Structure 1
Amino acid sequence: MASAAEVPGTSGKRVIPDHVPAELVFEPRYEEPNTLFDPFIVTKDVYEELPPIFYWPRPSPGRYDGTWVVTHYDDIAKVYQDDSIFSAQDASNFQGTIGETFKILPQSVDAPVHGPYRKFLSPWFTPKIINAQDDQIGRVINGLIDGFIDKGECDVSHDFCRPFPVLVFLNLMGFPEDRVEDFLAWEYAILADKRDIESVRWGSRHAIDYLRSFIEEVRAEPNDKLASAIVHGEIDGRPLNDDEIIGMLFMLFLAGLDTVSGTTGLIFRRLALDTELQQKLRENPKLIPGAVDEFMRLFPIVNASRMAVKDHEIRGVKIKAGDFVMCYAMAGNFDPDVFKNPRETILARQPNRHFSFGSGAHLCLGQHLARREMRMGIAEFLRRIPPFTVKPGADLTVYPGQIAARHVPVVWDKDAITK
């Protein structure tokens, strides 16, 4: 049973479950586009403006019509880490929008099912294996820089941050590089606006159809890449079945493209606006690893969700089995009870246990690769490109979330390039 109820901050009505108190229904506007120096400063008053847990009647195709939202660090950690109550089931269900029934693995299953799949994939993402990717990552980065360094300008988000993690991903998986624009188009259609069901369906259909055709190619001609290892893989002595194979490949497709691209674009936007900080990193490249984690905390573009599998209470609020709960990193990453001076950029912040890679058993499998890509991308760009600033008149709009800053036009003095 559900009833229609007025929603504060909206122009119409939404369908609100009967067990949700009207006073806990809100539709915040934090994720609307802005041009602020710090685009995530919009949540600075979240703990005064909203209760610690509230209901957001915003639909997610294939998953829910609305979700509970937790904003405090400890509550987010609880939701992420206790899968006996909060399940990763359907954590992503884009494939469900086109009638597919396979699970995205291992992201959308819980223990004990989750463990063997993660164990199977983990060896491909250890620090040792990632270290071996340095030469390839460097070639991709420098190849892109070669294409615009002599022009004295580029759209650093579109021309650099957008393609380089995708090219690294294609190589790791064994996908052909000439499909980079297709991958970017499909990924953007799925993730840019998850409420646009037709866009999600278009991107999901094209991506899944391509992956299935690629599976057949690799069945016939195995190689030493990750996609081939999955297609020909075994768990507990048995071959992976078709649903498991496409489930893993689609998960890697979704996870391998957007976080690095979006976050790095926001980092370069900040460096273009804050030339003092840019110069500090130029002069002290050893600060870049810490800076990457601090920027990830400051620019949380992913707010993941879990589904309650039993009735539960959070801060006295009753959550029903089947309800979804969003872990709102856009608030939790700035919780003053955990992070001292949370809105300040502290490059060597320790500890820095932010939620931008999630938490718990489903902590991002590719976090070491993501960090390496960002560290190398920033270091090489600063080494080769002279001091840069925002191109006069440029539109620096940010969409807090996975769209992030799609365009960051910057300029530099061509005569200052050191060959």
Structure 2
Amino acid sequence: MPDSQIRTPVFEFDYIADEGLLADCHARYWELKESAPPVFWTNEHGGHWMCNTAASVTKVLRHPEIFSSRFLSIPPNPDQPKMIPESLDPPEHRPYRQLLRPFFESKAIAPLEARVVEWTDELLTETAAQGECEFVSTVASRLPVAVFMELFGFPMESFDEFRSLVTTFFSVRAAPEERAALAQEIMGHLAQLIQSRMAEPKDDMISKIIVSEIDGRKLEFDELMSIGFLMFLAGLDTVTNAMSFGMRHLAHDEALRQRAIDDPSIIPDMVEELLRRYAFVATPRYIVQDTELEGAQLRAGDCILAPLPLIGWDEKLNEDPKNVSVERQFYRHAAFGSGIHTCLGLHLARMELIVFYRAWFSSIGHFRQIEKGDESCRGGSVMALENLHLEWT
């Protein structure tokens, strides 16, 4: 890089493979928040900027005219599958968002709650009898798959195949070629479902999307595939991760567990507070015009990573942010994003989490973490807990 193009300040950090991140992603990002500059450049992964304050993250999320969603990976991958509407900028983004939003409003997903309760009770009845479990694989990765499949219209007899596809796709150990092959397999399932519903619509979300109109026309097949692929990935991984990080905290917070057992009415607040404390997405953006951010000079063509936990960890937004408390008047965070790309499925995710915790504390109650030594994290733009061994009596 020529001298005139030197980026400063520099602070080396690997958002995918940093050792501290893999040991405990939240502890490492907190350490970064306290030790690194407000916005800094790292030479990892071809070189990119990192936001390290709530203010910088908020600006990146709220200004798509400067910080584009054109590429959703660092380094940029021009061949990545387009994910509508996540990888679109205004004004192209808005009509798709408007089309999809009604399917995810509270009143639209409310009828699904009874089924979510059924699946959760069934899953936990089976789990409770064991006295212990590896929580990520046996509980957290199963429930969202069932919810998504029913909502979207996939046949439930394919549940085990789908769960295997999802867990392998998101595994940190999956090689890029393996992940690409799995993406093609997912696309194959989506294509089959979309074609069958085009021929014979049913009472499910994909059938309703197929007959919807955007700018006075029906969606084309490629657009339906793109929307489906985004929903497949976002709908399955997000709740799994929120649930896993939340349960890891609760395994070490006896007082909060006791409160949830004694007074289940605190559970919605508990869900919100755990989302605030353990948000797990770091959003990549592509810079399309020169700009200044927290004193750093960013140039068009650079990439920047905006870790969402930083908003919930800001002392000006949340008093004593390191502490988990259900006594807050407001739970200010960006676990579901902020701005035009705020997660469409946030009401569904909250519902799944609330139903799960109610069922867990009702049927199992107290639990603890078994130290197995493999509770490592997955780095990247969507962080995850790889394993969580729990036991109860």
**CA offset at residue 192 of structure 1?**
3.7
* Aligned-partner Cα distance in 2 for 1:95–1:215: 29
* Aligned-partner Cα distance in 2 for 1:368–1:255: 13
Map 1:7-406 to 2 at 5 A: 19-21=5-7, 23-27=9-13, 29=18, 32-34=21-23, 40-59=26-45, 65-91=46-72, 99=79, 103-193=82-172, 196-391=175-370, 393-395=371-373, 397-399=375-377, 401=379, 402=382, 404-406=384-386
* Aligned-partner Cα distance in 1 for 2:223–2:74: 15
1:178-235 CA distances to partner (integer Å, 9 max, x unpaired)?
3334333443444444994223312222111221122212222211111122233321
SS at 1:325's partner residue? strand
**CA offset at residue 107 of structure 1?**
0.7
Aligned residues of 1:297 and 1:356 also touching (Cα < 8 A): yes
Change (3 A) 1:299 1:378: same
**CA offset at residue 25 of structure 1?**
4.3
**CA offset at residue 260 of structure 1?**
0.7
SS at 1:106's partner residue? coil
Which amino acid is 1:90 matched to? F
**CA offset at residue 303 of structure 1?**
0.6
TM-score (norm 1): 0.85
1:26-71 CA distances to partner (integer Å, 9 max, x unpaired)?
1253753326xxx623333424421111123343xxxxx3321111
Aligned residues of 1:167 and 1:177 also touching (Cα < 8 A): yes
Larger helix share, 1 or 2? 2
**CA offset at residue 163 of structure 1?**
0.4
**CA offset at residue 105 of structure 1?**
0.7
* Aligned-partner Cα distance in 2 for 1:55–1:340: 29
Single out whichever of 322-331 and 104-113 deviates more from structure 2: 322-331
Single out whichever of 116-125 and 41-50 deviates more from structure 2: 41-50
Unaligned runs of 5+ in 2: none
**CA offset at residue 382 of structure 1?**
0.7
Aligned residues of 2:145 and 2:159 also touching (Cα < 8 A): yes
SS at 1:51's partner residue? coil
Aligned residues of 2:104 and 2:348 also touching (Cα < 8 A): yes
Change (3 A) 1:395 1:93: closer
**CA offset at residue 96 of structure 1?**
6.2
Change (3 A) 1:135 1:47: closer
- 1:10 maps to none
SS at 1:259's partner residue? helix
Aligned residues of 2:117 and 2:355 also touching (Cα < 8 A): yes
SS at 1:133's partner residue? helix
Which amino acid is 1:366 matched to? G
Change (3 A) 1:386 1:48: closer
Single out whichever of 378-387 and 393-402 deviates more from structure 2: 393-402
Aligned residues of 2:148 and 2:236 also touching (Cα < 8 A): yes
Aligned residues of 2:12 and 2:44 also touching (Cα < 8 A): no
TM-score (norm 2): 0.90
1:58-96 CA distances to partner (integer Å, 9 max, x unpaired)?
43xxxxx33211111111111101111111222369996
Change (3 A) 1:30 1:333: farther
**CA offset at residue 334 of structure 1?**
1.5
SS at 1:44's partner residue? helix
Unaligned runs of 5+ in 1: 4-16, 60-64, 414-419
Change (3 A) 1:328 1:95: closer
1:284-341 CA distances to partner (integer Å, 9 max, x unpaired)?
1111111111111111211112111111111232211122211122434312232211
Percent pairwise identity = 28
The match for 1:410 among 376, 381, 390 is 390
Aligned residues of 2:257 and 2:365 also touching (Cα < 8 A): no
Which amino acid is 2:21 matched to? E
- 1:8 maps to none
The alignment covers a number of residue pairs equal to: 388
